[in-house]
Amino acid sequence: MTDEPSGVAHQLRHQLPLLVWLVLVWNFLWGTWSWANLLGGVVVALLVTVLLPLPPVVGGTQVRPLALLRFLGYFLVDLVTSGAEVAWQTVRPSGIGRSAIIRVQLRTDSDLLLTILAESLTLVPGSMVIDMDRERRTLAVHVLHVADERDVLRQRESVLAQEERVVRAFGSAGEIAALGLSPGERAEAPGRRTP
What domains, with CATH codes, occur in the chain? Answer: 8-51 (no CATH), 65-180 (3.30.70.920)
31: helix, coil or strand? coil
Give pLDDT < 70 ranges for the chain: 1-14, 55-61, 181-195
> Would the pTM of this model clear 0.85, i.e. be above it?
no
The runs of H, that is alpha helices, within the chain are 8-30, 35-51, 65-91, 111-123, 149-170, 173-177
Tell me: the pLDDT tens digits for 61-101? Answer: 688 999 999 999 999 999 999 999 888 888 888 877 788 99
pLDDT at site 195: 41
pLDDT at site 192: 42
